[in-house]
Chains A and B, each alone.
Chain A
Amino acid sequence: MNTSSIITKLKETKLFQKLSGLHPFRKLAETERFQKLSQTAAGKFLTDYPLMVSVIAASVVLGIIFAVQKYTPAPEVTDTPPAVTTTLPAQTTTTAPLHAEIPSSEATTEKTMTETRPPQAEFERVEDSYFNDALFIGNSRTVGLSLFGSMPEQTTFYATVGMNIYDLLDSTAQIPPEEGPEMSFSSLMNGQKFGKIYIMLGINDLGTGTSESFAEYYKSVLDQIHQMQPEAIIYIQSIINVDAARDAQGDSINNANINEKNALLAELANDDYIHYLNVNEVLVDENGALNADYTSDGIHLGGGSLSIWEDYLRSHAVVKES
């Protein structure tokens, strides 16, 4: 049975004949008005070159749409994130304006950073069960941790490829990542109480705004999360550096940019309920780039290297005295 015999068979079916009777162009072509129209020069052009004319028309329309899209300014990033409906009583935060706390970015070399940071909470080594009531928030790097890592079954992951700090509060994600049902961030936060919340976001924000605006927004997101989960210990994980090859590509995804943002993130820790974890400590080489042995694409940790990250978290936990 070849194609042409299938086609002839198809043509013999009643359905086909009925459908072709309904053929809009055929009916249209039979009307007197159309006949007349097609005899004019423009009409003849249209009937002779239908594809070209319609492609040109479509191009003009698409061109306008694309241009409008391109030159419409992106919605401005507001300083306060949209309010998330929460069943918990709103808390008043008494943090001084952020600008005052941040030293100028030139001064935030790694040395001064550690010096100006408030005294660190005592980190302890913990068992895996510590993570049973933990929530991990992140992007594809955290998706990797969920897919290939060895965190306990009970650990919750809220992570999607491409997640960034600005979208987080309004986002939805599959839980568990890439396999479970979609759930919105606010319903997750309202539906379940977490003991610890680990956040690693920022690699997708490297091209947006300044480091200061990033940290400021990050801070407001932390405030919201704290409001929704007042009892949770919040961990800011440093944005993991990229490897030397990725660093050299010359775009905004580079280690200088990441370091600048991490320095500001470290400042957000209050060592009461927000702690900063410099995950990079165990992941970078002597030049401060992500160790190339741990990654294939220069950005994500390979499945075999996730244990280094996990070990760091296990040995850098804060245990609340109850």
Chain B
Amino acid sequence: MVFSSIDFIFRFLPLFLIGYYIAPKNYKNLILFIGSLIFYAWGESSYLLLLLFSLFVNFIFGKLIAGHGQPDQTQRTRKIFLWITLAFNFGMLIFFKYTNFLIENINVLLSGLDLAIPKVTVTMPLGISFFTFQIVSYIVDIYRREKKPANNIVTLGTYLFMFPHLVSGPIFEYNEIAAELRYREVSITNIEKGLKTFILGLGAKAILANPMGTLWAGMSRYGYESISSPYAWLGAFGYSFQIYFDFFGYSLMAIGLGTMLGFTIPKNFDNPYISRSMGEFWRRWHMTLGKWFKKYIYFPLGGSRCSTPKIIRNTLIVWAFTGLWHGASWNFVLWGLIFFGLLMLERFWLGKYLERYKILGHVYVCILIPLTWVVFAMTDMSDLGLYFSRLFPFGGSPDFVTTKDFWNALGDYWYLLIACVVFSTDYPEKLYKKYEDHIITKLVLLVIFIVSMVLVNKSSGNPFLYFGF
């Protein structure tokens, strides 16, 4: 179930909130845990048992690694338990997410020998990438003795499965909400507060991201060879806005839902598109993921406090994995490596110029980020090549290409594109913070809610009624 759906907003959420509020304090975690399982199973229930099994395994091993009640537990055995748990968690992720990718690549290597391994049909459990990173942070922190394991399985289950962040993050550590899992303020004031954030996120998704998605989907309709260069650039910007407002909106909705339930969920985005370097961009984009990679991969490797070749190696490893984590396909690896290259370039040469000339930094980010998103979007390498040949038409264009497509799309989307640009800056946020509790602001939020729900309802009906060819 996604947050921006009729099912969630009109059915699941009101029913759940009523149950959650009337439940006695000691049972609120249990209600949240069960509610989250229902949320997860609403569309597809096939993997629910698997995730519950994983919860059970991690709960047990968390205790074993902590070594409670066994003072004779040696460092060695703790380490063995740690590796078993990590192997289990990453094994599950690799099996479900990367098996076919691995088989494909092995087959490419074997093709000279006329051998091929058949592909397997596995569907990925929803949210497994986020789930794995959460659970690994829990296990590693226990091993490092940074925190104590959860006292019972419902507490751990509530942390892991909690529906606001189960499927797409934000990723946060057990420590960050351990106190709130024990005691949190559940009040109607919090619902009112959380609702504001939720509606902002809903608006970002339904009013900005979805139409930008339609713009982007239009790019491939008549094939990438047919698009004109201005249209290709418009598409790259459109996709950049789609992916930002989609994910930013989702994170805002998650934070808002967290507030309604009495949790403080960390923010995930800080106006990334106003950055002046890639380093800054990644401190503002999907912040909780960057934090995870830093804490559990970059720093253990030595981070930046080592020799230059080692820094380069560490950065390379982090970005290769960051790319691969986003999807099991080579374009994601390429995407990660492009950021590795750019970050190294900034570190050793470009950074000082970006620092000195602010405008240069903005131009650099505003041009390169959409290009990196194109790499991210194209899982087919030949499509990627084709798209870049349209972005940079140095090899000439086919005769049938015309810039009419650009003007048509601009005519349809100009006002939304302007809105996207405005909402990518930090001015709306500043204005909102100032007038957050003003009655006019609440009225605006109500309008955003109504407009979003009408749009959501429109697109959720019979696809033939609203979409067509």
Minimum CB–CB distance from B272 to chain A (whole Å) comes to 19
Minimum CB–CB distance from B119 to chain A (whole Å) comes to 14
Name the A residues within 8 Å of B399 (CB-CB). Answer: 150
Name the A residues within 8 Å of B464 (CB-CB). Answer: 204, 206-208
The reply on B439 being an interface residue by CB < 8 A is: yes
The answer to whether A51 and B468 touch across the interface, beta carbons within 8 angstroms, is no
Q: Which of A55, A70, A179, A304 contacts B226 (CB 8 A)?
A: A304
The answer to whether A304 and B400 touch across the interface, beta carbons within 8 angstroms, is yes
The A297-322 residues at the B interface (CB cut-off 8 A) are 297, 299-306
The answer to whether B223 and A58 touch across the interface, beta carbons within 8 angstroms, is no
Contacts A3-B431, A179-B408 given: A207-B462 contact, CB under 8 Å? yes
The B207-230 residues at the A interface (CB cut-off 8 A) are 220-226
Distance A208 CA – B401 CA, assembled complex (angstroms): 34
Distance A15 CA – B377 CA, assembled complex (angstroms): 48
The answer to whether B223 and A300 touch across the interface, beta carbons within 8 angstroms, is yes
Stretch touching chain A among B45-53, B55-63, B189-197, B283-291: B189-197
The answer to whether B383 and A140 touch across the interface, beta carbons within 8 angstroms, is no
The B316-357 residues at the A interface (CB cut-off 8 A) are none
The reply on B404 being an interface residue by CB < 8 A is: yes
The reply on A66 being an interface residue by CB < 8 A is: yes
The reply on A230 being an interface residue by CB < 8 A is: no
Q: Which of B199, B222, B450 contacts A62 (CB 8 A)?
A: B450
The answer to whether B442 and A51 touch across the interface, beta carbons within 8 angstroms, is yes
Name the A residues within 8 Å of B223 (CB-CB). Answer: 295-296, 300-305
Stretch touching chain A among B96-104, B152-160, B453-461: B453-461
The reply on B402 being an interface residue by CB < 8 A is: yes
Q: Which of B9, B407, B442, B468 contacts A161 (CB 8 A)?
A: B468
Distance A182 CA – B449 CA, assembled complex (angstroms): 33
The reply on B173 being an interface residue by CB < 8 A is: no
The answer to whether A300 and B401 touch across the interface, beta carbons within 8 angstroms, is no
The reply on B367 being an interface residue by CB < 8 A is: no
The answer to whether A50 and B469 touch across the interface, beta carbons within 8 angstroms, is no
The reply on A4 being an interface residue by CB < 8 A is: yes
The answer to whether B6 and A66 touch across the interface, beta carbons within 8 angstroms, is yes
Contacts A147-B405, A304-B400 given: A296-B224 contact, CB under 8 Å? yes
The answer to whether B461 and A70 touch across the interface, beta carbons within 8 angstroms, is yes
The reply on B445 being an interface residue by CB < 8 A is: yes
State the majority secondary structure of interface residues on B: helix
Distance A94 CA – B112 CA, assembled complex (angstroms): 67
Contacts A4-B434, A49-B191 given: A55-B225 contact, CB under 8 Å? no
The reply on A54 being an interface residue by CB < 8 A is: yes
Contacts A161-B469, A164-B468, A179-B408 given: A63-B400 contact, CB under 8 Å? no
The reply on B398 being an interface residue by CB < 8 A is: yes
The answer to whether A62 and B453 touch across the interface, beta carbons within 8 angstroms, is yes
Minimum CB–CB distance from A91 to chain B (whole Å) comes to 32
Distance A75 CA – B192 CA, assembled complex (angstroms): 41
The answer to whether B221 and A300 touch across the interface, beta carbons within 8 angstroms, is yes
Q: Which of B192, B195, B220, B461 contacts A297 (CB 8 A)?
A: B220
Distance A148 CA – B442 CA, assembled complex (angstroms): 48
The answer to whether A299 and B469 touch across the interface, beta carbons within 8 angstroms, is yes
Name the A residues within 8 Å of B402 (CB-CB). Answer: 147-148
The answer to whether B408 and A303 touch across the interface, beta carbons within 8 angstroms, is no
The answer to whether A7 and B468 touch across the interface, beta carbons within 8 angstroms, is no
The answer to whether A52 and B222 touch across the interface, beta carbons within 8 angstroms, is no
The reply on B188 being an interface residue by CB < 8 A is: yes
Name the B residues within 8 Å of A25 (CB-CB). Answer: 439
Contacts A3-B427, A51-B196, A52-B192 given: A147-B404 contact, CB under 8 Å? yes
Name the A residues within 8 Å of B14 (CB-CB). Answer: 59
The reply on A291 being an interface residue by CB < 8 A is: no
The answer to whether B468 and A139 touch across the interface, beta carbons within 8 angstroms, is yes
The reply on A137 being an interface residue by CB < 8 A is: no
Distance A258 CA – B290 CA, assembled complex (angstroms): 48
The answer to whether A163 and B221 touch across the interface, beta carbons within 8 angstroms, is no
The answer to whether B430 and A3 touch across the interface, beta carbons within 8 angstroms, is yes
Contacts A51-B196, A52-B191 given: A300-B222 contact, CB under 8 Å? yes
Distance A305 CA – B225 CA, assembled complex (angstroms): 10
Which residue, B188, B192, B196, B469, has most C-beta atoms of chain A within 10 A?
B469
The answer to whether A297 and B221 touch across the interface, beta carbons within 8 angstroms, is yes
Name the A residues within 8 Å of B394 (CB-CB). Answer: none
Minimum CB–CB distance from A136 to chain B (whole Å) comes to 16
Contact sample, A vs B, 19 pairs, CB 8 Å cutoff: A7-B434, A50-B439, A50-B442, A51-B445, A55-B446, A59-B453, A140-B221, A140-B468, A147-B226, A148-B400, A163-B468, A164-B468, A179-B404, A203-B469, A204-B464, A296-B224, A300-B222, A302-B225, A303-B398
Q: Using CB atoms and an 8 Å cutoff, list the residues of chain A in contact with chain B.
A: 3-4, 7, 25, 48-52, 54-55, 58-59, 62-63, 66, 69-70, 139-141, 144, 147-150, 161-164, 178-179, 203-204, 206-208, 295-297, 299-306
Q: Using CB atoms and an 8 Å cutoff, list the residues of chain B in contact with chain A.
A: 6, 9-10, 14, 188-189, 191-192, 195-196, 199, 220-226, 383, 398-402, 404-405, 407-408, 427, 430-431, 434, 439, 442, 445-446, 449-450, 453-454, 457, 461-462, 464, 467-469
New A-B pairs, 4, CB < 8 Å, besides A161-B468, A301-B223, A304-B225: A140-B469, A148-B400, A300-B223, A302-B222
